[in-house]
């Protein structure tokens, strides 16, 4: 199991926020300020402190950590193809890779090398994959999907395509490919200034320890800033009340709901507290109780008078009177109509049927009971005397009495009479009722003292009653509009009832104070209610203190969870587990291969607890920390040595991919790296991305020296996008033979321009042709004439190569002629000379042939001279 795998397995038992931190450290070895903010919020959320931003935990997935390489499997890469949505790389691109030796992929800065590198790192599960693969920035948002590619591989001799998509678990065989880049290089350096060699991956634990310490300091500071204070309720907590018990229970037992309940007093409880305060302060409670009862009696009488007065002129009574009067008036109208018809009878006196006539007839009825006792009025015989005029009735008079009686007893008349009598009863009741409440002088003062609003209501009701009574009588008698009758004001009876009850309760409480036991109970009740009242005044401070207590408790949980001893122990255990003489030997061997002779790794003994253990220590000249002593190039060399040592000790047989491995290295150490990679290519597939032409050239020399193969690939930017592979390498990296071939290709373009009569294009292509021809002459001198004995930017002079070298006068003349003519057409001519005539394409062909012929002659002579010199 690798260190990363062991850390990942061990981390699954850590707090969730620490697992998130490990995932961040795995993706990017340094935690930013934003990362620390996120982790702090996540740690607090895990302790129960809500995160207002709702951050979501992310953990390192199993698929992100590369498994151990399979020693029984050989995975060779043949190409990466079908790329899509990878930075600005052209979709559908294909990059071939040689199955053996070194494949070097050259491209200038900004042509797409980093895009390919990131695909390799993601798919092969590189140790350091902090750089994300972004979609093409030139595309509209949402137009691009996840990055994907297909790896052409040969697994144990069987051709297999392995599709990969960013975000999905990479194909397992690709984990056999090891990746090195500048980020991995820095990961090997001991950033803490420790002399100990830190194997790759331990920096994750070091970063986690650093994060814990920083967050612990932040949590400690926040806890101190939120320290709760009980100053607002110290006095309350020192009393013998239920409130004190709850306050003393903060923060362990008491809940916020307890404080809310105690601090909320109802109106009845506040009134009870006021009563108790007044009662317990009274000097002569018995006399005071008597006075209160007398006062209650007077208020009760007032309430009774109000009830009586309101009962007489209530809306119900007035409404009933209005209804009876209306019925009486209607019956009267019906009777008057019947009387009108009666009055119309011929021969009757004026006024017959009227009220006066009716009274006269009823009087005659009463008199007849005396004067004609033997007969029932009006049934008198014709010879009887009339009760009114005392003349003989005669037949007409007797009949007239019967007709008059029938009118009187008619239904309309009877109904009118009954309705009039029914209305008269409530009318007289209202008329005779007393609506004087006698609410004046001392009684007004007594009620006002207790409840001013009730006193005002009584006064208003008195005025309303005095106005309502006559208005109702007038409406009934004169048929005025009933709407003019004033409404009664608000009823003060409920308020008077409360006053009466309150006075009687006070009297009862005052009576109770005569009993010491009851008085003590009242005092205790007052203390509880008063404590609750005072708690309500400081409730906000109490709840704030409780909130801070809870916050501090949760922050302490955070602080406890940020303890680093367990992490440090794991780091120490892993360090000691990896400390072996085999690893030290492998590291020292790699350092020697890279010519870093002044550095070495040794086994350093330790004795914790009296038990001897070892760790790997880096010996530095003169002491000091690695970061202070070593140059950036030396640190890169140590990183490469560590990477190669790991490959040396590993059981895997997969290839390695290196992205700009010589960045920050001086020209001398580049040769060592080139040689080391050339030798490694004899064992495994080596793939190198570089923008360094010099490194490309020396890698070519070193592979030739060790007998390895070098395949050169070129990627560039085209109209289709970035990272487009080309079989045509830049002219700068070609040897003499290949440069001659490129010149012949250029000649095709010159001939075409001449044939089409495009003089400007022909002149332009011709000038470029002679510029490249000049470079070809220079390379031929270095590569062929001098047999590579002296090379530009070379680390040394290969004197053994001089065995084949001779330089003749003819050589000088050939070189001088070829360089002179090339320079003539490449450089800008003097104004006086004017533009030179364009050479014919055949002339260009002749000039190519001249260099080719000289090169062939040199090759032949080199062999002959070497043979002659033995």
Over the stretch 238-254, which tens digit does the pLDDT of each residue have?
Answer: 989 999 999 999 988 99
Residue 114 and residue 110: Cα distance in Å, rounded?
8
CB contact burial 165-200 (16+ within 10 A = b; e otherwise): bbeeebbebbbbbbbbbbbbbbbbbbbeeebbbbbb
Segment 114-122 shows an average pLDDT of: 86
Q: How confident is the model at residue 159 (pLDDT cuts 50, 70, 90)?
A: very high
pLDDT at 611: 47
- Note whether 659 and 181 are within 8 A (CB): yes
pLDDT of residue 27: 75
Q: Say what the pLDDT of residue 140 is.
A: 64
Lookup result for tokens 């057409």: 825
pLDDT at 141: 61
Q: What is the pLDDT of residues 768-785, one digit of tens each?
A: 999 998 999 988 998 888
In this structure, the answer to whether residues 416 and 443 fall within a common structural domain is: no
What distance in Å separates the CA atoms of residue 426 and residue 328, rounded to the nearest whole number?
13
User: In this structure, what DSSP letter does residue 136 have?
Assistant: P
| Pair 411, 327 in one domain | yes
> What average pLDDT does the segment 194-223 reach?
81
Whether residue 481 sits in one domain with residue 383: no
Residue 787 C-alpha from the chain's centroid:
69
Phi-psi region of 547 (alpha: psi -120 to 50; beta: other; left: phi over 0): alpha
Write out the two tokens for 709: 């193969």
What's the pLDDT at 191? 37
In this structure, the answer to whether residues 787 and 753 fall within a common structural domain is yes
Q: Is 303 inside a domain boundary? A: yes
Average pLDDT, integer, range 644-672: 80
pLDDT at residue 136, rounded to an integer: 67
Say whether both 304 and 404 belong to one domain: no
Q: What is the pLDDT of residue 834?
A: 47
CA atoms of 723 and 195, how far apart (whole Å): 42
* CA gap 833, 837 in Å, rounded: 11
pLDDT digits (tens, 9 = 90+) for 392-417: 888 888 888 877 777 776 655 677 77
Mean pLDDT of the chain: 82
Query: Quick check: is 817 in a domain?
Result: yes
Predicted pLDDT at 354: 73
Determine, yes or no, domain membership for 414.
yes
Residue 606: the pLDDT is: 57
Query: Does residue 805 register a pLDDT over 90?
Result: no
* Lowest-confidence segment of 34-48, 366-380, 592-606 by average pLDDT: 592-606
Query: Residue 703 class from Cβ within 10 Å (0-12 exposed, 13-18 middle, 19+ buried)?
Result: buried
Q: Which two tokens stand for residue 222?
A: 């926040």
**Cα Rg for the chain, rounded, in angstroms?**
60
The encoded tokens of residue 260 equal: 């809310």
Predicted pLDDT of residue 190: 39
Angstrom distances, CA of residue 773 to CA of 770, 776, 829:
5, 5, 18
Domain with 336, as residue range(s), is 321-427
Per the domain annotation, does 242 fall within a domain?
no
Give backbone dihedrals phi and psi of 198, rounded to 5 degrees, phi first: -105, 105
Q: Give the residue from 795, 790, 796 showing the smallest Cα distance to 778.
A: 790
- Number of Cβ within 10 Å of residue 447's Cβ equals 26
How many whole angstroms separate alpha carbon 738 and alpha carbon 795?
24
H or E element: which one contains 762? helix 759-780
CB 205 within 8 A of CB 570: yes
Per-residue pLDDT at 28 exceeds 50: yes
Domain boundary among 395, 427, 459: 427
pLDDT above 90 covers a percentage of the chain that reads 27
Whether 500 and 386 map to the same domain: the answer is no
Classify strands 95-96 and 75-84 as parallel, antiparallel or unpaired: antiparallel
Judged against a pLDDT cut of 80, whether residue 263 lies above it is answered with yes
Give the model's confidence band at 626: pLDDT under 50 very low, under 70 low, under 90 confident, else very high: low
Q: Which parts of 566-709 are beta strand (E)?
A: 600-606, 613-619, 656-659, 686-690
* pLDDT score at 560: 94
| Judgement on whether residues 811 and 774 belong to the same structural domain of the protein | yes
Point out the domain boundary residue: 450, 483, 507.
507
> Which residue is it, tokens 């050589």?
811
The DSSP code for 155 is: E
The 8 Å CB, 24+ separation contacts for 411-415 are 412/331, 412/334, 412/335, 412/337, 412/338, 413/335, 413/338, 413/339, 415/331, 415/334, 415/335
Looking at residue 192, what is its pLDDT? 39
Asked if 115 contacts 723 with a C-beta cutoff of 8 angstroms, the reply is yes
Return the pLDDT at 513. Answer: 74
- Whether 473 is in a domain gets the answer yes
Evaluate whether 88 touches 722 at the Cβ level (below 8 Å): yes
- State both tokens at 181: 């880049």
DSSP 8-state class, residue 176 = G
- What tokens does 706 get? 């060790």
Phi, psi of 714 (to 5 degrees): -130, 130
Question: Same domain, yes or no, for 450 and 347?
Answer: no
Is 691 inside a domain boundary? no
Residue that is last in its domain, among 471, 486, 507: 507
Same domain, 793 and 857: yes
Give the per-residue pLDDT at 189.
38
Closest residue by Cα to residue 791 from 691, 728, 705: 705
Q: Which candidate, 281, 270, 282, 279, places its Cα nearest to that of 529?
A: 270
Tell me if 294 is assigned to some domain.
Answer: yes
Distance CA 487, CA 479 (A): 18
* Percent of the chain predicted with pLDDT > 70: 87
Strands 686-690, 102-106: parallel, antiparallel or unpaired by DSSP? parallel
Q: Is residue 525 part of a domain?
A: no
Q: Say what the pTM is.
A: 0.55
Residue 832 confidence (pLDDT) above 50: no
Does residue 828 have a pLDDT over 60? Answer: no
pLDDT at 188 over 70: no
Q: How many domains does the chain have?
A: 3
pLDDT at 56: 92
Do 457 and 372 share a structural domain?
no
- Pairing between strand 102-106 and 95-96? unpaired
DSSP 345: S
> Which residue carries 């700009």 as its tokens?
660
pLDDT of 277 > 60? The answer is yes
Q: Is 522 helix (H, G, I), strand (E, B) or coil?
A: helix
* Element housing 722 (H / E): strand 721-726
Residues 502, 376: one domain? no
Q: Which helix (H) or strand (E) holds 717?
A: strand 710-718
Q: Give the start-end residues of each E strand in 156-303.
A: 158-165, 178-180
Residue 298 confidence (pLDDT): 86
Q: What is the pLDDT of residue 835?
A: 66
State the burial class of residue 425 (Cβ atoms within 10 Å of its Cβ: 0-12, 13-18, 19+): exposed
Per-residue tokens: 723: 């990272």
Same structural domain, 441 and 301: yes
Confidence of residue 753 (pLDDT cuts 50, 70, 90): very high
* Cα 628 to Cα 488, 616, 632, distances in angstroms: 100, 19, 10
């Amino acid at each position: 199991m690798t260190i990363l795998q062991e850390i990942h397995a061990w981390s699954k038992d850590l707090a969730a926020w620490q697992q998130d931190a490990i995932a961040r450290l795995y993706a990017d070895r340094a935690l930013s300020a934003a990362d620390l903010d996120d982790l702090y919020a996540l740690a607090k959320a895990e302790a129960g402190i809500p995160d207002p931003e709702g951050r979501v935990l992310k953990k390192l997935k199993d698929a992100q950590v590369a498994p151990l390489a399979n020693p029984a499997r050989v995975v060779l890469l043949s190409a990466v193809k079908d790329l899509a949505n990878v930075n600005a790389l052209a979709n559908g691109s294909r990059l071939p890779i040689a199955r053996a030796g070194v494949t070097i992929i050259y491209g200038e800065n900004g042509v797409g090398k980093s895009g390919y590198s990131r695909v390799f790192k993601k798919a092969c599960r590189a140790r350091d994959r902090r750089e994300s693969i972004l979609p093409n920035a030139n595309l509209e948002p949402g137009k691009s999907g996840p990055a994907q590619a297909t790896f052409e591989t040969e697994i144990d001799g069987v051709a297999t395509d392995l599709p990969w998509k960013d975000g999905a678990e990479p194909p397992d065989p690709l984990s056999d490919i090891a990746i090195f880049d500048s980020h991995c290089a820095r990961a090997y350096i001991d950033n803490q200034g420790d002399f100990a060699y830190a194997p790759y991956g331990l920096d994750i634990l070091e970063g986690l320890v650093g994060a814990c310490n920083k967050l612990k300091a932040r949590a400690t500071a926040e806890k101190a800033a939120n320290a709760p204070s009980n100053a607002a309720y110290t006095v309350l907590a020192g009393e013998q009340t239920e409130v004190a018990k709850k306050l003393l229970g903060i923060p362990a037992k008491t809940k916020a709901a307890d404080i809310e309940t105690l601090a909320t007093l109802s109106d009845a409880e506040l009134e009870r507290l006021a009563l108790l305060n007044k009662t317990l302060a009274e000097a002569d409670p018995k006399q005071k109780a008597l006075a209160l009862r007398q006062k209650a009696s007077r208020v009760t009488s007032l309430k009774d008078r109000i009830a009586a007065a309101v009962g007489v002129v209530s809306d119900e009574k007035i409404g009933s009177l209005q209804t009876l009067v209306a019925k009486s008036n209607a019956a009267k109208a019906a009777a008057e109509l019947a009387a009108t018809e009666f009055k119309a009878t011929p021969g009757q006196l004026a006024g017959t049927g009227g009220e006066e006539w009716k009274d006269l007839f009823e009087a005659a009825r009463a008199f007849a009971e005396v004067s004609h006792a033997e007969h029932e009025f009006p049934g008198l015989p014709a010879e009887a005397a009339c009760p009114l005029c005392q003349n003989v009735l005669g037949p007409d008079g007797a009949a007239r009495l019967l007709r008059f009686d029938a009118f009187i007893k008619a239904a309309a008349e009877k109904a009118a009479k009954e309705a009039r009598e029914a209305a008269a009863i409530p009318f007289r009741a209202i008329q005779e009722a007393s609506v004087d409440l006698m609410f004046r002088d001392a009684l007004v003062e007594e009620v006002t003292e207790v409840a001013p609003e009730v006193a005002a209501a009584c006064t208003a009701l008195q005025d309303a009653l005095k106005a309502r009574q006559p208005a109702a009588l007038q409406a009934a008698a004169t048929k005025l509009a009933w709407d003019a009758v004033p409404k009664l004001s608000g009823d003060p009876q409920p308020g008077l009832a409360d006053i009466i009850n309150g006075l009687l309760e006070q009297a009862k409480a005052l009576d109770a104070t005569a009993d010491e036991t009851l008085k003590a109970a009242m005092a205790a009740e007052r203390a509880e209610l008063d404590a609750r009242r005072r708690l309500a005044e400081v409730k906000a401070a109490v709840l704030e203190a409780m909130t801070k207590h809870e916050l501090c408790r949760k922050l302490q949980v955070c602080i406890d969870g940020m303890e680093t001893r367990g992490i440090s122990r794991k780091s120490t255990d892993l360090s000691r587990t990896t400390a072996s003489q085999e690893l030290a030997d492998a590291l020292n061997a790699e350092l020697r291969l890279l010519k870093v002779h002044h550095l070495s790794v040794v086994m350093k003994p330790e004795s914790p607890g009296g038990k001897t253990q070892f760790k790997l220590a880096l010996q530095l000249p003169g002491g000091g920390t690695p970061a202070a002593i070593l140059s950036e190039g030396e640190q890169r060399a140590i990183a490469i040595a560590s990477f190669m040592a790991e490959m040396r000790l590993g059981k895997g047989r997969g290839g390695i991919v290196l992205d700009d491995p010589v960045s920050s290295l001086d020209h001398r150490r580049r040769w060592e790296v080139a040689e080391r990679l050339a030798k490694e290519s004899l064992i495994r597939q080596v793939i190198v991305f570089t923008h360094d032409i010099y490194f490309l050239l020396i890698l070519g020399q070193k592979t030739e020296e060790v007998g390895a193969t070098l395949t050169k690939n070129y990627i560039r930017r085209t109209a289709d996008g970035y990272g487009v592979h080309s079989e045509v390498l830049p002219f700068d990296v070609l040897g003499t033979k290949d440069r001659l071939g490129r010149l012949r290709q250029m000649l095709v373009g010159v001939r075409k321009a001449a044939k089409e009569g495009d003089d400007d294009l022909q002149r332009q292509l011709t000038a470029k042709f002679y510029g490249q021809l000049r470079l070809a002459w220079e390379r031929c001198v270095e590569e062929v004439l001098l047999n590579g004995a002296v090379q530009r930017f070379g680390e040394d002079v290969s004197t053994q190569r001089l065995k084949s070298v001779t330089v003749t006068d003819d050589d000088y003349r050939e070189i001088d002629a070829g360089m002179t003519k090339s320079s003539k057409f490449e450089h800008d001519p003097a104004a006086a000379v004017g533009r030179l005539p364009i050479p014919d394409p055949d002339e260009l062909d002749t000039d190519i042939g001249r260099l080719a012929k000289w090169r062939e002659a040199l090759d032949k002579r080199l062999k002959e001279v070497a043979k002659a010199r033995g």
